[in-house]
Amino acid sequence: MTGRLPIGRDALAQVRSIIAALPAAVFITDRSLICLAANERFVRLSGAASATLLTARPLDGMVPAALVTAVDDAFAAIRRGQAADPAEVELSGTIWQVSFGRIDPSAPEELLFVMLSDVTRFAHATREAIQSNDDLRESLRRVTVAAETDSLTGLPNRLSFEATLTREIRRSRQLGTGLTVALIDIDFFKSFNDTYGHVRGDECLARVARALAEALTEPGDFIARFGGEEFVCILPDARQRPGGTLLARLGAAVADLQLEHAASPHRVVTVSIGAYSLDSIDDVDTEDQTRHALLQKADDVLYAAKESGRNTSLIADSSGFVAVCRPQADEQPAAPDDATEAAPSPDPAANPQRRRFTVEEKLHVVMVGLRDEKAGTALCIQQGIPTALYAAWILNFIDAGRARLSDETVQPEASAPLASPPDAAATPPDHVVLRDIIIDLLIEQRRLRQGRPD
């Protein structure tokens, strides 16, 4: 290279005249990055004393390195057969847009016309707009999180729960999977607040919330604060997991906190849990109807758990109670002598001196319970029958009924044993008669449900 433009003197004068009149900083260079021509604005930008000192010299060392890199990248793009896209460089605190134009692409020499435009204000405005949008998005995110989060416990709130349950109902219906909703209530929480004050009550709520959340380990499990001292869980396709085990883990997580509760017969903070499971979501009911049914049935099961003495977990489905758990049911600590008069009575199931129940008593309780779960639970409380024992009777009879309803032959020897062996004197002469009475009752129950869907 000669460091000169490959054009005549008249053309050179014309080129210099054109670039001198341009309002931007302009120069012409070749692929060796030799400056062949420049206007006064570019001379001032480069810091050279004059255009004469700048012309025919390598750009490297004469202009900032960022500009040299941009020009070199433009030539590289041209050699690849691509367009030389504009670049943005910052020189001495000013932001410049560097644009490139090839002079006479048919000529053997590769010459670039390079123009620098001051876009500082525009760039700053753009960056501010981007930052403003980012700030706005972050603000919206924070508002959304705040609107869906309970400030005391840090758990999702009722609003978030409603939206999540709707999504899970829709998902279960599409995939044909089951869905479980569990309501969790802190036992005797009003008495806790009356005894220790609302500040300690808030601390209790926060610690229980954290323990429950940590006990849920499966992807998709969801827990929220439902209101007051109640929490609610959504357990997608929980039928793949032992329901009683999961509920027991939740109850144990709270009991293991060992939060003192002098006004409770258990002496520590405990929870009652009522869960209801659907094996599948049918297409008949709307999402609102399904949501209402799940919550109502879970609330009914929670009521039964609380009525049976609290510190109890019950899970039910359309066939009735399917799992019962009461941590250390036979060794519940009794309230001390100095307990307040307002303290509730210990659960009858906590009495280690449990009596044996006759077959007639079992049959009567089971028949009442199969017709009306709440009435059966209330009867158990009245007669001092432990809930876990009552549930075992129910399950045994349901198993026998299912075998009969599926046309299987059920021999007396193959029947599931009763949870408590009957007294010999009270046993009917023919045990098969008792079994058939229960089976007939189950058949009647099934017929009633078919005629009056739940």
Nearest to 171 by CA among 318, 290, 274, 275: 290
Confidence (pTM): 0.51
In whole angstroms, what is the distance from residue 4 CA to residue 23 CA? 24
Are 165 and 176 part of one and the same domain?
Answer: yes
Which residues lie across from 229 on neighbouring strands? none
Note whether 272 and 361 are same-domain residues. Answer: no
217 lies in some domain: yes
pLDDT: is 391 or 99 the higher one? 99
| Domains contained in the chain, number | 3
pLDDT of residue 387: 61
Average of per-residue pLDDT values in the chain: 75
402 pLDDT above the threshold of 60: no
Instruction: Read off the CATH number of the domain in which 178 is found.
Output: 3.30.70.270
> Both 445 and 332 in a single domain?
no
Alpha-carbon radius of gyration of the chain: 40
- Provide the pLDDT for residue 427: 42
Q: In the chain, what percentage of residues exceed pLDDT 70?
A: 66
pLDDT at 25: 87
What residues form DSSP beta bridges with 321?
A: 316
Please compute the mean of the pLDDT values over residues 204-226 and round it to a whole number: 93
- Tell me the per-residue pLDDT of 68-109, one tens digit each, with 9 for 90 and over: 899 999 998 888 888 888 988 887 778 888 999 887 666 656
* 294 has pLDDT over 60: yes
Please name the residues in contact with 401: beta carbons below 8 A apart, sequence gap of 6 or more. Answer: 438, 439, 441, 442, 443
Specify if 3 maps to a domain.
no
> Are 169 and 183 contained in the same domain?
yes
Residue 166 pLDDT greater than 80, yes or no = yes
Residue 304 sits in the same domain as residue 406: no
Structural domain of 75 = 9-123
Residue 426 one-letter amino acid: A
pLDDT of res. 285: 78
Identify the sign of the CA torsion 189, 195, 198, 203. negative
Q: Is residue 131 part of a domain?
A: no
Regarding whether 450 and 404 lie in a shared domain, the answer is yes
What are 167-202's pLDDT values in tens digits?
999 999 888 888 999 999 999 999 999 999 999 999
Residues 192 and 291 both lie in one domain: yes
Average pLDDT (372-389) is 71
Residue 221 lies in a domain: yes
What is the spatial distance between Cα 171 and Cα 383, in angstroms, rounded to a whole number?
44
Are 16 and 107 in a shared domain?
Answer: yes
Tokens of 127: 């960056």
Domain membership of residue 2 (yes or no) is no
Residue 137 counted as domain residue: no
pLDDT digits over 431-453, tens only? Answer: 444 455 555 655 555 566 555 44
Residue 366 lies in a domain: yes
